[in-house]
Amino acid sequence: PRDTVDVVVVGSGGAGFSAAVSAHDHGAKVILIEKEPVIGGNAKLAAGGMNAAWTDQQKAKDIKDSVESMYKDTMKGGRDLNEPELVEVLTSHSKGSVDWLTAMGADLNDVGRMGGASANRSHRPTGGAGVGAHVIQVLYDNAVKRDIDMRMNTRGIEIIKDDKGNVKGLLVKGMYKGYYWIKADAVILATGGFAKNNERVSKLDPKLKGFISTNQPGATGDGLDVAANAGAAMKDLEYIQAHPTLSVKGGVMVTEAVRGNGAILINREGKRFVNEITTRDKASAAILNQTGKSAFLVFDDSVRKSLSKIDKYIGLGVVPSADSLVKLGEMTGIDGKNLTEAVARYNSLVKSGKDADFGRPNLPRALNEGNYYAIEVTPGVHHTMGGVKIDSKAEIMNAKKQVIPGLYGAGEVTGGVHGANRLGGNAISDIVTFGRMAGENAAEYSKKN
């Protein structure tokens, strides 16, 4: 029958698609549901990259990196509150996940720097186009090729269990069919985070009340309620990340890769004030400390040319530009004289190879080519680190730390991988690695049940 399968996947972001494809390839019959009318979740919006260590792509560019270094950076970025065994899985499988996507047709050949990383390990398509849209496209194409049953406008409502507590399926609500039961031995929750739900966000972190968000409308966190009703324990819900650079005009999220490729942060007084590629929590706090609670990403044509995504922001009309820094100051309200001095000082630091002012670890290029650009930015709610508690096999656990048989979780709906603060580039890595793992383990589990 149509509604009886081995594995149901809830959510069509990167975690859900990775889980669905992987479960299928391990022999399971799969249905993937998505409550929104479109696929891709928040994953589709990810612009920065996919962190991975010791990859062929890095080796081709002579980049020295290691799994240990990625592990250390991830723990440090998360203020050591991450679950070590989950970080172990994230980092040691990161190359495997890049290879898995590459074998399915992904281009992850461009490798750049993101905040909190001690090496260039953020993988993205050649030319620097958005990684999330590309990865979702590749996964979607592969799901179609495998004839996986995908149902949009279908919301996961309640996990159904037998009297022994084993998962037996999912009650869903389809836009046209209404409520019905999908029978399955295993359910994978890949419902993402809740950054778009300011009520939920501000209850957990009152400082974020009224903040705008970078997320898609479906990022409301109702998957957490589905999990909680099934007995899932929660972890770290109070850790909610602001992304430091949303454009004040238009609310467009400006990827961290703009800074990674060389842009600097300047305040209204025309001065630098922070290591631009510090972790997101620190960069956000620093911006909120400036006059007007915003700052400007300043860069030149050499940075613009290094990242095709920047032309998209220009196309959206959120990037004032001028052929001199003084003119740029006049257009944006930045003190032009100080700005000119700050850029000259920065260029001298680039030349010396060391940021004596703020300790920025990468200084990719001087800012002295062609036109200058400034994007006014302010932090917005971006990622929710907390979620359901999982073990290193992506099994969801209850408050007694027992596995709920047949229930799996992957991606932003889970807690523990990122501790108190996620590093840029670790989300795509997380969703692909844990999604694959959830898919494989759910498929194997369903064979035994």
Among residues 124, 280, 304, 360, the one annotated as catalytic is 280
200 catalytic per annotation:
no
| 270 lies in the binding site for ligand ADP (CB under 6 A) | no
Q: Can you tell me which of 30, 385, 431, 442 binds ligand ADP, judged by CB under 6 A?
A: 431
Kindly write out the interface string for residues 399-418 of this chain, putting x where it contacts ligand ADP by CB under 6 A and - elsewhere.
------------xxx-----
- Of 12-20, 230-238, 252-260, 268-276, which segment contacts ligand ADP by CB under 6 A? 12-20
| 25 lies in the binding site for ligand ADP (CB under 6 A) | no
| 222 lies in the binding site for ligand ADP (CB under 6 A) | yes
Q: Residue 341: name the closest of 291, 268, 270, 264 by CA.
A: 270
Residue closer to ligand ADP, measured from CB, 154 or 284:
154
- Of 40-48, 107-115, 249-257, 328-336, which segment contacts ligand ADP by CB under 6 A? 40-48
Q: Can you tell me which of 12, 94, 245, 446 binds ligand ADP, judged by CB under 6 A?
A: 12
Residues 136-195 touching ligand ADP, rule: CB under 6 A, are 155-156, 190-192
Residue closer to ligand ADP, measured from CB, 222 or 391:
222
State how far the Cα of 291 lies from the Cα of 270, in Å rounded to an integer. Answer: 11
For residue 138, the minimal CB distance to ligand ADP (Å) is: 14
For residue 411, the minimal CB distance to ligand ADP (Å) is: 2
| 218 lies in the binding site for ligand ADP (CB under 6 A) | yes
State how far the Cα of 396 lies from the Cα of 326, in Å rounded to an integer. Answer: 56
- Of 7-15, 299-307, 356-364, 393-401, which segment contacts ligand ADP by CB under 6 A? 7-15
For residue 173, the minimal CB distance to ligand ADP (Å) is: 9
For residue 24, the minimal CB distance to ligand ADP (Å) is: 17
Q: Can you tell me which of 223, 270, 386, 409 binds ligand ADP, judged by CB under 6 A?
A: 223
Q: Can you tell me which of 26, 35, 382, 383 binds ligand ADP, judged by CB under 6 A?
A: 35
Contact between residue 220 and residue 213 where contact means Cβ atoms under 8 Å apart: no
Residues lying near ligand ADP in the complex (CB under 6 A)? 10-16, 33-36, 41-43, 155-156, 190-192, 218-219, 222-223, 226, 411-413, 431
Q: Which residues are catalytic?
A: 280
